[in-house]
Structure 1
Amino acid sequence: MAAYQLAQQALAGEFAARWAEALAAVEARDLADSLTVLEAEYAAAIRESAAASRVLSVAFYRLVRALATGRVIGGPGYRPGASLGSLWADFNRATGKRTGTGPREPLPVDTRNPFPAEDIARETDRVEETFRHQVADRVAKHERERKGSAALDDAELVAWEREFLESLKTGSAGAGGMLVQDGGRDVIHTALQDDPGALGYYRKTDSSPCHFCALMASRGAVYKSKRTAAFGAHPHCHCQAVPIFSRRYQLPAENGRFSRMWRDFGGGSLADWRTYYSKTTKT
């Protein structure tokens, strides 16, 4: 569903806007002395948006499952007497848009809870590692380079600092946005593995995916197993896993197009595929 993907993308955008505002409040020369404050803001922004991503993914999974099977799954957010109408209402609330509605008759219930509990320690470690690589290490390197920038005139120095800040913002926002959406993607993947009624998923890309995401989408439906538990998202990636619960499903047209492109490619390295994909999508 496009509404789900757009809502997840919007959550990453909300994080990025909040983080950009925090960075804009600090001068480049003061970044090294502001890392503690910036890390706290980075972590808080990711945590809040990732929590919303998880709520959205639970509502999405429960709705898609009910539409395919006629049954509602338990777990967080489940309310006795849930119907397709109430599940649509939950999903609409999570996306902030009215995207659908349904009847109010209560659905049969599968009481199993396949949704994972929030792993705060793991998520904290991931945020700390991301901040260190994307911000702290880069700021330290920039500080060392600044000592050798005495030969730059004022205009060159301003341009150099501006370029660094923009690069820092882009890299850290992309990596943080991935963590935000991983909050929801992890919910989907864990639920798929723990829900006996789930068959697998397919990868729904955005309108202009990179070569890697197009390749992953070309596989079509991926049926669940330990081997397929990982999704393979990356910074600035807005792909989502759409769960499937029946053999009667329809892939988006893009997946079929990427599958045909892969067959026409004929095989080779990932670098070869990247070149082929770039040339093909530009024509």
Structure 2
Amino acid sequence: MNPLSLAESGSAWLAYMLALIRGERRRSRDQAAAFLRLYRAMETGYTLPPLQDGPVAEATTLGALREDWARVTETIRTPEPDDADPVRIDGDFDWLEEPVEAFDRAAVASLVSQGPAKVRERVAQAAEEQTRGRLDDAGFLQELEDLHTSTGTTAANAADREAIRAGRDLINRASQEDRRAVGWARVTDGNPCAFCAMLVSRGAIYKSRATAAGGGRRKPKGSADGRNRDSRRPPVTLQDLTRYHYGCHCQTVPIYSRTDFWTPDAHGYADQWERVITNNGLSGAEARAAWRRHIESNRS
């Protein structure tokens, strides 16, 4: 973007970015559907119909689902011993349409706020400073270069979130309609912030109290009765689980078991929460601050 013609250059940049994001949203949606079909098959022995319209077969195989995942992710897969295992297709399931217009509006709002608006605000601020000399001096030009670099980073993070919005939305809405899904859990991207790490540490939330009660609560590793780790943690809802900040690549996935969903990461962060927060009797703002310091000190 040219800071001397933000309206014109910003509009051209926004049109280009929106077209790019639309294409990536389609790819994200295809990958999410392939993931969910394979993941559900491995968890339950049943899968969902293909995302594309057309006749629906009664069954497929794990190998075919793996091939579909490899195709949409452009990865090479190696044969697995259970590739030939049959998987029934729940033909009564209908994928919901992507809300394209709503996603476009969200993308435009994110891109403008993190791109042109930031540049416009900083340039206006610089021009109003009474102590500054000419706006073409070396110091100001360096500020403009730094501004473009930092704004490019924030705008890229905004574009990244908007590109994968479609896949996240597909999994979220499909799992809410899925009669076999009993709840959800957050999966880390490998380097989560404090908020995301807390969500991962919570294990699973359920669609209903009856579901949670009916399956019982599996005792987390290191917990005497399976309840201690929940006593001082902030409450978590599906709305919390499906909140994603700029630069976040965590994912909320459906769960199909009537026992808690405890991945190795969930165990690890639950252990850390107990050691840093619960064992020190912290709660509220004090607990959040201590947790943030702990996670940030260990992030790569």
Task: Confirm or deny: 8 A CA contact 2:119 2:147 kept in the other structure.
Answer: no
1:275 aligns with 2:293: yes
Of the candidates 14, 23, 27, which is equivalent to residue 52 of structure 1?
A: 27
Q: How far apart, CA to CA, are the structure 2 residues paired with 1:276 and 1:83?
A: 44
- Which whole-Å deviations, capped at 9, do the CAs of 1:152-206 have from their partners, x for residues lacking one? 6732122201111011111111122111122111111111110001122322212
Q: How far apart, CA to CA, are the structure 2 residues paired with 1:140 and 1:109?
A: 53
Q: Structure 1 residues 210 and 247 mapped into 2: Cα distance closer, same or farther (>3 Å)?
A: same
The equivalent residue for 2:199 is 216
- Which whole-Å deviations, capped at 9, do the CAs of 1:22-68 have from their partners, x for residues lacking one? xxxx4443434312111111211111111111110000001011112
Larger helix proportion of the pair:
1
Q: CA deviation at 1:254?
A: 1.8
- Which whole-Å deviations, capped at 9, do the CAs of 1:243-271 have from their partners, x for residues lacking one? 32224786332211111122221233233
Q: How does 1:113-124 map to 2 (within 5 A)?
A: 113-124=93-104
Q: How far apart, CA to CA, are the structure 1 residues paired with 2:114 and 2:292?
A: 25
**Paired AA for residue 296 in structure 2:** S
Q: Which sits farther off after the overlay, 267-276 or 91-100? A: 267-276
1:108 aligns with 2:108: no
RMSD of the TM alignment (CA)? 2.5
Q: How does 1:132-281 map to 2 (within 5 A)?
A: 132-148=112-128, 150-151=132-133, 154-224=137-207, 227-229=237-239, 231-247=242-258, 251-264=262-275, 265-266=277-278, 267-269=283-285, 270-279=288-297, 281=298
Give structure 2 stretches of 5+ with no counterpart. Answer: 210-236
Q: How far apart, CA to CA, are the structure 1 residues paired with 2:208 and 2:61?
A: 30
Q: Structure 1 residues 205 and 100 mapped into 2: Cα distance closer, same or farther (>3 Å)?
A: farther
Q: How far apart, CA to CA, are the structure 2 residues paired with 1:125 and 1:165?
A: 24
Task: Confirm or deny: 8 A CA contact 2:24 2:163 kept in the other structure.
Answer: yes
Task: Confirm or deny: 8 A CA contact 1:50 1:180 kept in the other structure.
Answer: yes
Q: CA deviation at 1:130?
A: 1.1
SS at match of 1:107: strand
SS at match of 2:253: strand
The equivalent residue for 1:84 is 62
Give structure 1 stretches of 5+ with no counterpart. Answer: 1-25
SS at match of 1:108: strand
The equivalent residue for 1:23 is none
Identity of aligned residues (%): 29
Q: How far apart, CA to CA, are the structure 2 residues paired with 1:277 and 1:168?
A: 26
Q: TM-score, normalised by structure 2?
A: 0.77
Task: Confirm or deny: 8 A CA contact 1:28 1:165 kept in the other structure.
Answer: no
Q: How far apart, CA to CA, are the structure 1 residues paired with 2:180 and 2:52?
A: 19
Task: Confirm or deny: 8 A CA contact 1:75 1:113 kept in the other structure.
Answer: no
Whose Rg is larger? 2
SS at match of 2:284: coil
Q: CA deviation at 1:225?
A: 5.6
- Which whole-Å deviations, capped at 9, do the CAs of 1:70-118 have from their partners, x for residues lacking one? 1221251485242211111100111111345453465322113253211
Larger RCO: 1 or 2 (CA < 8 Å, sep 6+): 1
Q: How far apart, CA to CA, are the structure 1 residues paired with 2:174 and 2:249?
A: 20
Q: CA deviation at 1:210?
A: 0.8
